[in-house]
Chain A
Amino acid sequence: MRLANRPLRLAACAAVALLAAAVGCAPQDESPGGPGAAGQGKQSCDRGKLATVADGKLTVGTDKPAYAPWFQDDDPASGKGFESAVAYAVARQLGYGKGAVRWQTVPFANAFAPGQKKFDFDVNQISISPARKRAVAFSSGYYDVRQAVIALKGSRAAHAKSIADLRHLKLGAQVGSTSLDVVNDTVRPDQQPAVFQKNDLAKSALKNGQVDAVLTDLPTAFYITSAEVKDAEVVGQFAATGAGKEQFGLVLDKESRITGCVTAAVDALRKDGTLAALEKKWLTDAVSVPVLK
């Protein structure tokens, strides 16, 4: 009989152990529906006193490598490059000086993975969309995006004058980008487009002739053709399509308490002309590029 009791006792022990583990593992904070979930609540945007990840510091995330012209020399903390400058401008607006800004490397997928975030906001050319808003919170847009096509000079793709001309080409774009959406939804090519993990790989494929043309946002297209693949040119840009224009937004945790403050800061920067000035300083003017229809 003593033997027979053992499995039961073992099961009981296991259950107790599991329960203990459960209690031990269960994070105590961010109870659903608690103060955090409400978004703004009574939290005010006192300068330099936001509920940030690290007290008194503003932690800003971006991927590595950080590409030009958004960041210069893969160094977000330099303040050089459009997004780096925008991040510091937003920080200043929120009451955080240059020394109070910490940079954190955040791979693209981690920016929207559920769970505690290691950043207050992430700046990584991420376009705002309703579907994405179900997973993360966005500030208001800090940049109006246009998509563009690049191709090797003199190639068939370089002579494209319209969207229809692109349809028969092998196109490439980066995964998770709105450029890929433009390929699939606007151009609708005959061949399945090539999808790349990074724009670097797309550039190699373009140089090798494995794709005829690559789609990126316009500033990236300018940078690629002027600095990286010099025998390529910007063929054209796409008009901002029907349902509202595409904008880059700062990504925040869905439960972040500072979303309202960050949005207010971005809005203020747009209103006082700071964003337009930064755009002029860091991004090439797009007027000369023909619009593909």
Chain B
Amino acid sequence: MSKLLTARAGADDGYVPSQRRIERERFRRTRTRRATAVAALSTLVTAAVLYFVITRSPGWPRTRETFFSTEYAAKALPKVLEGLLLNLRLLVVCGAAVLVLGLLLAVARTLRGPVFFPLRALAAAYTDFFRGLPLIICLLMVVFGVPALRLQGVTTDPVLLGGSALVLTYSAYVAEVFRAGIESVHPSQRAAARSLGLSSGQALRFVVLPQAVRRVVPPLLNDLVSLQKDTGLVSIAGAVDAVYAAQIIAGKDFNFTPYVVAGLVFVALTIPMTRCTDWVTARMDRRRAQGGLV
């Protein structure tokens, strides 16, 4: 604000700020400085108090040795990263499958016309069931139940089976997100599209879905991050992911540091993902606002 004013004052348009205005700006600057100083001080005090409380607690040496041992961190990191590959592969493959299946389910659920009733009912039953079923139970049923059937040609690979269980559960969540997006598009959009001569399918494809998908990008990202963390549950059948790699070391040597390492790795993975979506959303918003806001 003040920068803008000075720049304008410097421009040769004969504008000279009044004494009172200069006074006011100076006052504001001192206020800002003061606020910054206070914020810095209070942050410092808080940090100092937290540091004091944590490091002076009687159990701190044990806690530091058990949770923040550099020796175990160094030992765990390579194995955790190796396990992370499994998480990432699952995230990419399952994420793509979940988006496709979720969108199909949502479209099936929002189709109109009596002829589509069975499809609507099936899609509704699917989302109700798998959204309610705890993921861990879904995983156990698929990972240990399917191979127990001893069907010819059906895989017993825990990663493939676990991945399908993830897709089953998460596509139900994502379908509901997509459905909310589709239903949030105002009916007049459809009406306008139909009146232009677009068929029902074309209206959905070219008018409703593009708007719907844009609206639900943030909650979709939420589900993806959630999926990213839940990919580790596949380890229930013996596959070793990042968290499990940590648990193996923790269980062997009775030290929890590997868990902290795995946790940080996941956080480090989530943050760029969030920033990326923020960027995508911002870009979409800019596009939508093209031509200026009235």
Contacts and interface: CB of A to CB of B under 8 A. Distances in A.
Interface of A: 4, 7-8, 10-11, 14-15, 18-19, 21-22, 25-27, 29-32, 108-109, 112-115, 129, 131-132, 134-136, 172, 175-177, 180-181, 192-197, 201-202, 204-205, 207-211, 254
Interface string B131-159: 00000000000001001101000001110
A176 B38 contact: no
B237 A175 contact: no
Nearest to A126: B254
A131 B148 contact: no
A14 B144 contact: no
B255 A135 contact: yes
A181 B46 CA distance: 45
B35 interface: yes
A248 B53 CA distance: 38
B42 A14 contact: yes
- B-side binding surface: helix, strand, loop or mixed? helix
B170 interface: no
Contact of A201 (B35, B63, B238, B244): B238
Nearest to B156: A210
Contacts of A197: 236
Contacts of B157: 210
B161 to A, nearest CB: 9
Given A131-B253, A135-B254, A15 B46 contact: yes
Given A18-B46, A31-B58, A209-B147, A109 B252 contact: no
A7 B36 CA distance: 11
Interface residues of B, number: 46
Interface of B: 31, 34-35, 38-39, 41-42, 45-46, 49-50, 52-53, 56-59, 61-63, 65-67, 144, 147-148, 150, 156-158, 235-240, 244, 247-248, 250-256
21 contacts: A4-B31, A10-B42, A11-B38, A14-B45, A14-B46, A21-B53, A25-B57, A26-B58, A114-B65, A129-B253, A175-B247, A176-B252, A181-B252, A194-B237, A194-B238, A194-B239, A195-B248, A205-B237, A208-B147, A210-B156, A210-B157
A24 to B, nearest CB: 10
Contact of A114 (B49, B63, B247, B253): B63
Given A26-B58, A113-B66, A176-B250, 17 more contacts: A4-B31, A11-B38, A11-B41, A25-B53, A26-B53, A26-B56, A27-B57, A114-B62, A134-B255, A175-B244, A175-B251, A194-B237, A195-B235, A201-B144, A205-B144, A205-B238, A210-B147
